């Protein structure tokens, strides 16, 4: 088989065979196929698409391109969640200890932020000493001993996706449904997940701007997971505005801790309870049929009782983090300059552009434009108003946490365009738009 023939066939709109896809992915992973041929293939796939079978084949070829994690001797059911990426999305910090506190062990690998969307691993590194890189043996041992582990993505897991994703990023081939679906699901399959709750973000601050395309992506991922025996639920959740109020690493850890103590922003709490309840229900499906309402009230109880926070302490301690910082979040990294922007008019919030809020956090240094850049864990912003809220002139709209005057000035200019006022009452945004299950 020759790479050039496979590229030509996809260029001409042909359906590739399983053997061709396996050959291409294996040879690209081991370096036999160079980036320029893979880039040409990606563009052909982007333009002509991949059918369902090709997408499943691509997913499996990428899942099998490296190690596959098998925790079946440690965990009765391996439960995972995945967010397609958003602004202020600190869900994993809350949901993982919450599900573990309900007695369902969780072992998860998460990513770093890229561009305006934050990453769980960057947030956890706000905690002094928290070790994000674990060897496979350490990962397994922590899952066995504590029933909770949250580390960075192992480079040996679906390495083909790691290479292809970096290439897609620079060849304008990211926003392609079969490529996104196979990328996400290859990692979930390689990580050995039996149960996956997918949080597919939709809106101004998400990959998918429209409900129809988010729905198509969600369906495709549910079908891929189901075809390999996973139990998958996909939630379509709002990402027109940030989740919760805090955006920026240490600020988000602080807000997550408030939520783990039973407080925090109501939208964040509700979002986490729904994600956790789906994870619990699917994880226990084989024992007996738990209703969503039972799982929701159990999860709410574990948040309010402090049990979820206790599990978070166990996680931080097990991974070498300084627990005193989560007991007293004022000791997490703090910014030198705090500035509040007040409302110039009265009215109602019609739009709070999540993309612009995410970009404002990047302006301040909370995220990176390119992989590998260093970030400032202390900086970011809090939004004080969400869509549907009323505003009185003079009230605070944003609090900025900065360590650099020039960056602060740039961010203040950006925020001028981030919140759209309305003179008439506006409706709050829904938390979720749809739930997609295998039918």
Position 402 contacts ligand URA (CB under 6 A): no
Catalytic residue among 57, 80, 122, 161: 161
- 82 in catalytic set: yes
Position 117 contacts ligand URA (CB under 6 A): no
**CA–CA separation, 275 vs 98, rounded Å?**
10
**CA–CA separation, 126 vs 97, rounded Å?**
18
Two tokens, residue 270: 């509700």
Judged by CB under 6 A, which stretch of 172-180, 287-295, 372-380, 393-401 contacts ligand URA?
172-180
Smallest distance from ligand URA to CB 184, Å:
5
Where do the DSSP E strands lie in 203-290?
231-238, 246-247
Rg (CA), the chain: 22
Element holding 124 (H helix, E strand) = helix 120-124
If the CB atoms of residues 178 and 333 are measured against ligand URA, the closer one turns out to be 178
Two tokens, residue 62: 């990428």
Q: How many CB atoms lie within 10 A of CB 376?
A: 20
Alpha-carbon dihedral angle through residues 95, 353, 416, 126, given to the nearest 10 degrees: 20
Position 153 contacts ligand URA (CB under 6 A): no
Position 55 contacts ligand URA (CB under 6 A): no
**CA–CA separation, 384 vs 371, rounded Å?**
30
Position 84 contacts ligand URA (CB under 6 A): yes
- 163 in catalytic set: no
**Quick one: which of 93, 184, 279, 397 contacts ligand URA (CB under 6 A)?**
184
**CA–CA separation, 188 vs 392, rounded Å?**
46
- 187 in catalytic set: yes
Judged by CB under 6 A, which stretch of 173-181, 189-197, 255-263, 344-352 contacts ligand URA?
173-181
Judged by CB under 6 A, which stretch of 89-97, 174-182, 274-282, 309-317 contacts ligand URA?
174-182
- 161 in catalytic set: yes
Contact assessment for residue 403 and residue 376, using Cβ atoms and an 8 Å cutoff: yes
Judged by CB under 6 A, which stretch of 56-64, 177-185, 299-307, 367-375 contacts ligand URA?
177-185
Secondary structure of residue 106 in the 3-state scheme: strand
What number of chain residues touch ligand URA (CB under 6 A)? Answer: 8
Two tokens, residue 257: 């801790």
Q: How many CB atoms lie within 10 A of CB 344?
A: 11
Position 214 contacts ligand URA (CB under 6 A): no
Tell me, rounded to whole angstroms, the distance of Cα 404 from its chain centroid.
28
**CA–CA separation, 276 vs 295, rounded Å?**
8
**Quick one: which of 183, 356, 411, 418 contacts ligand URA (CB under 6 A)?**
183
Smallest distance from ligand URA to CB 49, Å:
15
Smallest distance from ligand URA to CB 303, Å:
28
Catalytic residue among 10, 112, 140, 187: 187
Position 154 contacts ligand URA (CB under 6 A): no
Catalytic residues: 82, 161, 168, 183, 187
Residues that bind ligand URA (CB under 6 A): 84-85, 165, 174, 179-180, 183-184
């Amino acid at each position: 088989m020759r790479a050039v023939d496979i590229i030509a066939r996809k260029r001409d709109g042909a359906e590739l065979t399983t053997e061709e896809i396996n050959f291409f992915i294996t040879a690209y992973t081991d370096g036999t196929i160079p980036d320029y041929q893979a880039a040409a293939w990606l563009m052909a796939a982007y333009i002509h698409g991949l059918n369902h079978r090709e997408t499943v084949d691509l997913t499996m070829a990428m899942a099998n391109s490296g190690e596959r994690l098998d925790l079946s001797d440690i965990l009765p059911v391996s439960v995972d969640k995945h967010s397609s990426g958003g602004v202020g999305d600190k869900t994993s910090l809350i949901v993982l200890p919450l599900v573990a506190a309900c007695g369902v062990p969780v072992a998860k690998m998460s990513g770093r932020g890229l561009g305006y969307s934050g990453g769980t691993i960057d947030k956890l590194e706000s905690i002094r000493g928290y070790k994000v890189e674990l060897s496979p043996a350490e990962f397994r041992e922590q899952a066995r001993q504590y029933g909770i582990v949250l580390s960075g993505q192992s480079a040996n897991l679906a390495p083909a996706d790691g290479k292809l994703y970096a290439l897609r990023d620079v060849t304008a081939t990211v926003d392609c449904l079969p490529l996104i679906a196979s990328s996400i699901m290859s990692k979930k399959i390689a990580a050995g997940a039996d149960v996956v709750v997918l949080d597919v973000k939709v809106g101004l601050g998400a990959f998918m701007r429209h409900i129809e395309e988010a729905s198509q992506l969600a369906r495709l991922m549910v079908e891929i997971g189901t075809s390999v025996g996973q139990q998958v639920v996909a939630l379509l959740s709002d990402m027109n505005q940030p989740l919760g109020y805090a955006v920026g690493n240490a600020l988000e850890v602080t807000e997550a801790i408030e939520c783990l103590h039973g407080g925090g922003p109501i939208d964040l709490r509700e979002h986490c309870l729904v994600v956790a309840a789906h994870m619990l229900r699917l994880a226990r499906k084989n024992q007996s049929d738990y209703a969503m309402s039972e799982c929701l009230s159990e999860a709410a109880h574990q948040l309010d009782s402090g049990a979820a926070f206790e599990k978070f302490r166990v996680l931080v301690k097990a991974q070498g983090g300084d627990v005193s910082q989560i007991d007293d979040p004022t000791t997490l990294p703090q910014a030198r300059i705090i500035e509040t922007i007040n409302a110039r008019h009265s009215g109602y919030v019609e739009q709070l552009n999540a993309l612009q809020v995410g970009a404002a956090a990047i302006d301040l240094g909370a995220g990176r434009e390119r992989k590998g850049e260093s970030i400032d864990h202390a900086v970011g912003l809090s939004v004080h108003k969400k869509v549907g809220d009323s505003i009185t002139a003079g009230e605070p709209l944003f609090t900025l946490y900065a360590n650099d005057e020039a960056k602060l000035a740039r961010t203040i200019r950006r925020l001028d365009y981030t919140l759209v006022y309305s003179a008439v009452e506006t409706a709050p945004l829904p938390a979720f738009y749809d739930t997609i299950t295998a039918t």
